[in-house]
Structure formats: C-alpha cells, structure tokens
Amino acid sequence: MSSFQSIQKAAREQWQALQESADPVLYLGMGSCGLASGAGEVWDQINKTIASKKLNVRILKVGCIGPCYLEPLLDIQMPGNPRYCFNNVDGKKAEKLLLDYIKNGESKIRPIGYLGNGKFPVNGLKSFWDQPMLKNQVRIVLRNCGIIDPENIYHYIARDGFKGLMRAFELGPEGVIKEVETSGLRGRGGAGFPTYLKWQLCRKSKGEKKYLICNADEGDPGAFMNRSLMEGDPFSLLEGMIIAAYAIGATDGYIYIRAEYPLAIERLKIAIQQLHNHKLLGKDIIGSGFSFDIRLKEGAGAFVCGEETALIASIEGERGMPRSRPPFPATSGVNGSPTNINNVETLATVPNILREGGTWFAGYGTKTSKGTKTFALVGKVRRTGLIEVPMGTTLRQIIYDIGGGSLKEFKAVQTGGPSGGCLSSDFLDLPVDYESLTKAGSIMGSGGLIVMDKDICMVDVAQYFLRFTSQESCGKCTPCRIGTKKMVEILEKITAGEATMEDIHLLEKVAETVHKGSLCGLGQTAPNPVLTTLKYFKEEYIKHVEEKRCPAAVCRSLVEYRVIKEKCTGCQRCVDVCPTHAITGPKSEPHNLDKSLCIKCRACYEICRFDAIAGDAIVIE
Amino acid sequence: MENLQLILKEYIAGDRSNLIPILQHVQSDQGYISPEAITTISNHLHVSKSQIFGVASFYSQFKFNPPGRHSIKICLGTACHVQGGDFLLAALQSEIGIRPGETTEDGRFDLERVACLGCCALAPVVMIDKVIHSRVSVIKLRELLTSYE
C-alpha cells in the first residue's frame, strides 16, 4: 500500500465512524457569517449544556453551507439518522433541541431538511438540497463547504480529497495542462483568461525558480465567495495550488490574502500544517519527487493589489502599484522570476477537474464559459448567501428561483464590483457568462451579485463606486488619479441637485477618457458603474438634474424628514434615538422635527416604522 | 521599545520583502505605527524612513494614531451601502463625536471605515474589536456601544 493509500484508509475509517457514531453529533456552521449571526453564542451554550449535564455528545465546527439568511445553522445527527438541519438557531433554541433529542429522540421544533442518509422518522422531511435556494444549484467547488470540519484533513481526504493530485502525478505536467484545456476552465477572478494557457506560458518561461501565487485578496466590496470557500474547505485550494505548481514547475507558493479575513487565515494555517504532517506539502510530496511549499502573505488593504503586477510589488514589500506590461508575470514576476497568478476559485476548481476529468467539467456551462461559478447573492433580495450555478444560468433564475426575488419592486442588479455595471430588468434573461455580461456593459468579475430594488438610487450607487475607486486609485497614472476624482465631483454635484445637463455630458466624456487612458484594469473599468447607469437609468440622472429630486429618496441633500402629525402617537421613541436632538415634543402629543438640526441618519425613521407603539409617522421625501 | 527590538529579531536585517509583515507585526503589538517604530524599522532594514512611511501610508490597514480601547469598523461594502451603512456612519459620528481615523478624547473608541468585511449577506455589518455584528440598525448600534467601556 502506498503512503497515500494508508492515509486514505485512516481518513475513510474516521469519516465512517463519525457517520455511524453511537453518540449524537452536532455540526455548527461557524464561518464568519455564522459567527456574525451568533454562532459563537450557540457554541458556548451547547458546550455549557454538554458539560453541566455530562452528555455524551460531540460537537463539530463546519463552514458555511451557503444560505446565510438561515444562519446560524445547526445540524443534529442522532445514531442511525441523517443530519437534521435547524435554521436561525440561538443559544436557547440550541439547548432545547439538544435536550429534546437526547431525551425523546425528537423535538417539536421542525428541521428544515436533512443531510446524508439514514432513517427518516420526521414525517415528510425533505433533503436540505431541496430547499428553494439550493435545488437549482450545482455544487462542485463548494461541495465540501458546510459538510466537513475545515480543520480536519481526514474529512477532506475521506471525501475524495487529493485524488485529483494523485491523478495529476500520473498524467505528468503536460497531461495536467491538457486536462485543464479540455475542461475549458477560465479565470474566476474576473477577466476569464483561459487557465491552461496561463499555465503553459509560465511553464515555457525560462527561470531557475518559478512562483505560484494564489490571489485571495478578494477586494470587491459586496463579494465573499473566496472567504467562504477558504473558511469552509481550505484543503481544496491547497490541493489546487499543488496541482498548478506541478503543472508549471513552481517550487514556491504564496497565498496573498486580505488581513480582513482572520478566520480564513487561521484555517489556512491549520490546513497547511496538516498537509505538512502528512507529507502532502514540502519536500518530495508523497513520494512523487515533486517539492513545493506554500506561504501566507497578508495583504494590508489596497484594492489595486488585485491587479497582478501591483500584487507582486506588494509581496516584494513595495507600495502596491501596477506597472505596464509586458513583461507579463509569466516571464518576469516575483523577484524577476516567472510567476503564475490564479484566483482562489480557479485553483479550488482544479482538483475536481483532475479527479472527474476535463470532459465532465466541460459538460456544464455554455459554449465559451464552461463549468460552474460561485456568486455572492446579496442586497435587496429575499434569500441572501453564497451560491454555485452552471455558467449560462440566467439572472432571472438566480435572482428569482434561487434568491426568491427582490424585497420591493426590482430595479437593477450589479455585477462585477467596482469594475462592473448595473443592469436593468431588461437584462433579466441574460445568461450569465463572460461574453454576455461584457456585451451588456458589465463584467463577470469575481462573483458579487447585488440586487437593487426601488429603494435604491442609481446615481447614488454610481457615486458610491466612484468614491471607492478614486480612493483606491494608486495615483500612478493621471487619467485614473485625476479622472476618477473629477467624476466623483460631478456625481456629487448631481446628487446635491446642483448640476446641469452639461455636467452629464462632461461626465460621459471624462468616463471615456479614464477608460481609454488608464494604465491598469482598475482605471480602465472604473467608469463602468457610471456608463451603465447612464445608459440604463438615464431618467434618474435627469430627475436629479432637472427636477432636483431623488426618486428613491436616498440622496440626502434632496430629501427632507417630516413627521405626519395625524399619525404620530407621541410615544417619544424617536426623541430618544435622535443623536442630534432634532426631534422634540411632550409625551402623547405630535412631535416636532427641527430640520436645521437633522442629519438625516434614519434612526427616527427606523424606530417609527418598527416599534410597536410608534405610528409609522416619519416620512422621507 | 524593547518589544520592538524583539519583534525585529524575527526578521532578517536588510530583507526589504519583510517590510509589510514587520509593519503588521508592530501594529498588532503596539496598536499603531509610531514615528519611533518607523525609525527603528528603517535602521533594521536599511531603508529610508520616507520609503517606509510611503509603504505604510499606501495601505489602509496601517494607523498612525494610538487606537482607542475599542475599535469600531463600519463596513461600507456595496451590500452594506445599499442596506444603509452610510446612515450608520452618520449617526455614529454624531453620537461619539469623531470621524473615521480618529479616537475619542476619553480613549474609549476609535472609528474606521472598511471596504468590505465579507459578510455581505447579513448587511449592514459593524465590527467592534474582533466581533462582527450583523443586520445592524442605528438603534441596535447604539445599544451595542453601551456594552463597551
């Protein structure tokens, strides 16, 4: 038996024992989103109950399974049963569930689904994967997220982990590149460059030392696909990196990861250590003769470092500024050596391609965009979370079938982050692939999908993105440095109600110049949010300019807060919450709002809408 | 200062590629990058002080003022923006009387805006010290603050 087979055997035995455990096993979703929803409190409560009642119960941390709106998610696996999934659990609910199941083997709290096999005593319970948010998904890269313990390499190996790497070693480097070519995999970071070609270029470059970098700087605001993947299944990324390094002949690997993701960093560190312990990383990996090691580099917060040459400068300890290409990193990257850079999702997809074959992967998707893609489905949509769908799925399927539709009347969907654009309802039947999105004026980007309803002002959204890109512009080239700033100034004029139609023409002209004249992708794509909103939502701009009015009542200079005297119950809730004491009035009498003091922060509006004794009396118009 | 020397011992003198990890290490130990820290790092790496400040000021992670006892980070990612992150910031600024990058006079809080914490599905989010709070409203934020002294 080879050394890998013996690890595999031990891993399968451990996984099997967990499924057939004679004691109850709990699985708690403890990704960042689970923790933000209160999973930490649930964890503490369960452990307290286990200790105080001396229960024989095991509890495991798992990653995020995707539907963040159901977090915290707790699975209970009783002996012989599958995992029953419970949503929106807090400490109290968790304790009740645990005690109910221990005592009676069931609970009045109904699970929303089950995971795995076994007996099904809960009547009519469907699989968790039949949830409306999940049933139209195809999970390839996310297949382990929420299922395995991300801090236990045996779980990963038991679920066919490192089989892809073993096959890669059989195929040889050229064979690996061929397999990836067959799969049609393109870069998941946004640009969609064919992965095999990138590898081939780097493989053919001459250099004593070659580097492989994983770009985990996920800088797009509104996107968290990579975070979730690294927190839920760090091993698939590491396996993908080893395969990529083997294909191009790299000996040194870096994961450039943003410091804002402390949990992902922690899990990757643990995973790297476990790989070392099993000789799956380092010198002579599992007797193959191939040596490769991975180091983490924490990014320090600069959006431009998503650009390849800026990222390399940052790794070298410089300001993260891009340089003109050629030479491309494939010929001259880190310390002048050939360097290959891939995105997290691209690399984590690779083990699946090697394991199941390129033809299998190419069976999903469209003619030019193969396989599946993960998206962060967020904003004004009913079911928020992380999803994975075949390329070519339409925006309508994603937003309505999976996401359950927008909260209020649908207005737009933003794709591709600050480099992307806003698409109107006319584009709902657009298939999501690289070419279709680019043709519509947006981009695929890394996978953020932000749904916007009628409460969102498109001019404000354009202003938001341009403020972001102008702050993140590194300042090296003039069109980007000055151009984005000028665009922000014009947008600020529009949202303040001080602009003329002439300003809109000027905005278009500056956008064109920034697009054509900038050195790197940041500047070249920065105008996209402006250009697409001008194209598809021009009437909103015109209303801001000609009527000095913000139809969505978002732009602060153009709205006022008012108390409707007839509705006000005089409950004084708004008086308590107003940070500037702009609202006054005795109890039980209609309150008065002093507009000169009002900072339009919405505190009064929120409390008046949601508090039981308030009368929904505050309007913004 | 003793700490600073101990930290620098872990990094090879003159190896510039370690500059960012050193700055991160120093900040996690001291809370910010002081002028003295820049001088000491400059001597260790044989890189001028202006170059070190140039690198440090390029990245949004590095602070040059002593932080408060508690750090508030308001997420202004796209999802948080459309769910009202801006309103949170406006209310908070007027509540504690400081702007992003500043620390309250009593040293209780410092305030920062961050581009994205990656919890977009639960927007708007606010991070206080190491804990991320989800679906924060102006009212909820005010209640949260009372539990930090």
Q: Does A329 touch chain B (CB under 8 A)?
A: no
A448-453 and A372-379 beta bridge pairing? parallel
Superfamily for A15-129? Glutaredoxin (3.40.30.10)
From chain A, the residues in CB contact with B23 under 8 A are 300
Rounded to an integer, what is the distance from CA B147 to the centroid of its chain? 20
Which residue of chain B is at minimal alpha-carbon distance from A552? B82
* Chain A 582-611, residues with CB within 8 Å of chain B CB atoms: 599-603, 606-607
> What is the reported pLDDT for A120?
65
Residue with tokens 């732009």: A555
The tens digit of pLDDT for each residue in A535-553 reads 999 999 999 999 999 999 9
> What is the reported pLDDT for A201?
97
Residue A123, pLDDT above cutoff 90: no
Q: Does B128 touch chain A (CB under 8 A)?
A: no
Beta strands in A344-479 (DSSP E): 372-379, 385-390, 410-415, 421-424, 448-453
Region A139-159: mean pLDDT is: 97
Percent of chain A with pLDDT over 70: 99
* Chain B 36-55, residues with CB within 8 Å of chain A CB atoms: 54-55
Domains and CATH numbers, chain B: 2-58 (1.10.10.1590), 70-145 (3.40.30.10)
- Each domain of chain A, given as residue ranges in start order, spans 15-129, 162-361, 372-453, 458-546, 560-620
Instruction: Report the greatest alpha carbon distance in chain A.
Output: 84
Region A221-236: mean pLDDT is: 96
By three-state DSSP, how is residue A115 classified? strand
For residue B1, the distance in angstroms to the closest alpha carbon of chain A comes to 23
Q: Does B94 touch chain A (CB under 8 A)?
A: yes
- Among the partner-chain residues B54, B60, B133, the one whose CB lies closest to the CB of A319 is B54
Q: Does A30 touch chain B (CB under 8 A)?
A: no
Count A/B contacts: CB-CB distance under 8 Å: 166
Q: Does A422 touch chain B (CB under 8 A)?
A: no
From chain B, the residues in CB contact with A607 under 8 A are 139
pLDDT-derived band at B142 (thresholds 50, 70, 90) equals confident
The tens digit of pLDDT for each residue in A24-64 reads 999 999 999 999 999 999 999 999 999 999 999 999 999 99
Which residue of chain A is at minimal alpha-carbon distance from B75? A221
User: A573 or A540: which carries more pLDDT confidence?
Assistant: A540
Region A391-403: mean pLDDT is: 97
Residue A398, pLDDT above cutoff 80: yes
Residue with tokens 């922000």: A488
> What is the reported pLDDT for A409?
96
Rounded to two decimals, the ipTM of the complex is 0.93
Q: Does A405 touch chain B (CB under 8 A)?
A: no
CB contact under 8 A, B118 and A260: yes
> What is the reported pLDDT for A609?
84
> What is the reported pLDDT for A577?
84
CB contact under 8 A, B90 and A448: no
For the domain made up of A560-620, give the CATH fold. Answer: Alpha-Beta Plaits (3.30.70)
**Is it true that A162-361 and A458-546 share their CATH fold?**
no
> What is the reported pLDDT for A119?
67
CB contact under 8 A, B137 and A606: yes
> What is the reported pLDDT for A121?
63
* A532 phi and psi angles, rounded to 5 deg: -70, -40
Q: Taking the model in full, what pTM does it have?
A: 0.94
CB contact under 8 A, B20 and A317: yes
When the pLDDT of each residue in chain B is averaged and rounded to a whole number, the result is 93
- What gap in Å lies between CA A114 and CA A45, rounded to an integer? 23
The tens digit of pLDDT for each residue in B87-130 reads 899 989 988 999 998 999 999 999 999 988 989 989 999 999 98
For residue A386, the distance in angstroms to the closest alpha carbon of chain B comes to 8
- What gap in Å lies between CA A281 and CA A284, rounded to an integer? 8
Which residue of chain A is at minimal alpha-carbon distance from B89? A601
Q: Does B91 touch chain A (CB under 8 A)?
A: yes
CB contact under 8 A, B122 and A222: no
- Among the partner-chain residues B17, B95, B119, the one whose CB lies closest to the CB of A33 is B119
Region B75-90: mean pLDDT is: 92
- What gap in Å lies between CA A615 and CA A610, rounded to an integer? 9
> What is the reported pLDDT for B2?
67
The tens digit of pLDDT for each residue in A86-99 reads 999 999 999 999 99
Region A88-115: mean pLDDT is: 94
> What is the reported pLDDT for B1?
58
- What gap in Å lies between CA A484 and CA A462, rounded to an integer? 12
Percent of chain A with pLDDT over 90: 88
Q: Does A316 touch chain B (CB under 8 A)?
A: yes
The tens digit of pLDDT for each residue in A53-88 reads 999 999 999 999 999 999 999 999 999 889 999 999
Torsion of CA A598, A602, A605, A610, to 10 degrees: -150
Percent of chain B with pLDDT over 70: 99
The tens digit of pLDDT for each residue in A308-326 reads 999 999 999 999 999 999 9
Region A178-183: mean pLDDT is: 98
> What is the reported pLDDT for A346?
98
The tens digit of pLDDT for each residue in A331-348 reads 999 999 999 999 999 999
The tens digit of pLDDT for each residue in A493-506 reads 999 999 999 999 99
Structure tokens at A620: 């913004």
Please tell me the class of the A458-546 domain. mainly alpha
The tens digit of pLDDT for each residue in A521-536 reads 999 999 999 999 999 9
* Residues contacting A5, CB < 8 A, separation 6+: none
What amino acid is encoded at B37 in this protein?
A
Residue A611, pLDDT above cutoff 80: no
User: A117 or A560: which carries more pLDDT confidence?
Assistant: A560
pLDDT-derived band at A171 (thresholds 50, 70, 90) equals very high
For residue A329, the distance in angstroms to the closest alpha carbon of chain B comes to 18
CB contact under 8 A, B120 and A376: yes
The tens digit of pLDDT for each residue in B1-49 reads 568 999 999 999 999 999 999 999 999 999 999 999 999 999 999 999 9
CATH architecture of A372-453: Roll (3.10)
Please tell me the class of the A162-361 domain. alpha beta
For residue B20, the distance in angstroms to the closest alpha carbon of chain A comes to 6
* A585 phi and psi angles, rounded to 5 deg: 145, 140
